[in-house]
Amino acid sequence: MPKKIYLFATSKSEHAINVKSLDVRYLKPDIDFSKYDYLIITSKQTIKALNQYDKKDFINIPALCVSPKTADAYIKFGAKVLAVGDGYGDNLTKNINEFSKDTKWLYLRAEVIASDFVKKCKEEGYQIDEKILYVSECSQEIMDVRVDSPSVLIFTSPSSIECFLKNNSITSEDKVIVIGTTTANFLPDATEYIMSQNTSIQSCIELALQIK
C-alpha cells in the first residue's frame, strides 16, 4: 500500500494530505519607496503584503526575486523583476554582488528569516534596508495534526519543521523530503532525508510519488 503523503506548506497539492503550516499576519510599516533603486523579495507572502500599499509608489522599482516561482508571482502582480535567484536566500549575495555598492536596496521580509545574506552583504559595504511586512505563526492545523507512520513527510520551510515537531516526531519509518538545504538544516540530528531537485513544491511532490 502506498504511504500517505503529508505536505506541510501554505500551498496545496491534490496528491497529498495538505496541512497548512503557518498562519500569516500582515504588517504595514511606513515605507518611502522613493529612496530605493531595487527591492528584494523572497516570498509570495511579501507580494500579498504589498497589496496594502499604493502600487504606484513601488510598481516601477525592479525586484531581485529569490526564485523563478516568486518572480512569476511578482510579474503577475504587475511589477518588474530585476533578477532571479536559484531559490536559496543565502545565494542572493551573488546577485547583489553584481551591482555597485552605491545601489540602495530594500529587503521586504518576514519577522523571522533563515538566511543571513543581508548581514553578509552589509559587512561587504552594500546598502540594504529592511522592513518587516509579515509575521508567521504556527497554524492550529499543524499543531493539531497527528500523522500515521510510516508516511512521506514534505517540509517546505524551516518553520514547517519547527511547528510540526512541537506536537509530533519523525520516526525512522517515515520518509522525509525537504525543499532545500536551509530547510534540511532544521531537521533533528541524524534524520535521513531526500532533497528535491528544484526548490518547488511540485518537485517535492514528484519525489514523493516515486516512493513505494
Considering the domain architecture, whether residues 57 and 121 belong to the same structural domain is answered as yes
Distance between CA atoms of 12 and 207, rounded to whole angstroms? Answer: 16
pLDDT for residue 121: 97
What's the confidence (pLDDT) of residue 2? 66
Compute the 3-state secondary structure of the chain and give helix, strand, coil in percent, each to the nearest 5: 30, 25, 40
Per-residue pLDDT at 25 = 93
Of the residues 111, 137, 163, the one at which a domain ends: 137
- Within this chain, do residues 34 and 105 fall inside the same structural domain, yes or no? yes
In the predicted structure, residue 212 carries a pLDDT above the cut 80:
no
Section 135-161 average pLDDT: 94
Based on the fold, state whether residues 79 and 66 are members of the same structural domain.
yes
Mean pLDDT over 131-141 rounds to 95
- 175-199 pLDDT tens trace: 999 998 889 999 999 999 999 988 8
pLDDT for position 45? 93
C-alpha torsion angle, residues 172, 176, 181, 184 (rounded to 10): -50
**Lookup: cell for 168:** 509530533
Distance of CA 54 to the CA centre of its chain: 24
Looking at the structure of the chain, the number of domains it has is 2
Which one of 137, 158, 175 terminates a domain? Answer: 137
- Rounded to two decimals, the pTM is 0.76
- In single-letter form, the type of residue at position 200 comes to S
Q: Is the pLDDT of residue 103 over 60?
A: yes
- pLDDT attached to residue 3: 84
The predicted structure's pLDDT at residue 114 = 80
Please report the pLDDT score of residue 18 as a whole number. 97
Residues 29 and 130 in one domain: yes
Q: Are residues 58 and 127 in the same domain?
A: yes
Among candidate residues 6, 1, 41, the one with its CA nearest the CA of residue 148: 6
Q: Are residues 122 and 68 in the same domain?
A: yes
- Whether 85 shows a pLDDT value over 60: the answer reads yes
29 pLDDT band (50/70/90 cuts)?
very high
Running DSSP on this structure, what letter comes out for residue 124?
T
Cell 519577522 belongs to 111
The pLDDT of residue 186? 94
Residues 130 and 31 in one domain: yes
Answer for the pair 33, 107: CB distance below 8 angstroms, yes or no: no
- Note down the domain range covering 132: 25-137
Rounded to whole angstroms, the Cα distance separating 107 from 128 reads: 7
**pLDDT grade for 46, boundaries at 50, 70 and 90:** very high
Q: Kindly report the average pLDDT of the chain as a whole number.
A: 94
> Looking at 137, 169, 189, which one is the last position of a domain?
137
Number of Cβ atoms within 10 Å of the Cβ of 67: 22
Check residues 52 and 87 and name the one with the higher pLDDT. Answer: 52
pLDDT of 1 higher than 80: no
The three three-digit cell numbers of residue 59, written as one number: 510598481
- Say what the pLDDT of residue 87 is: 83
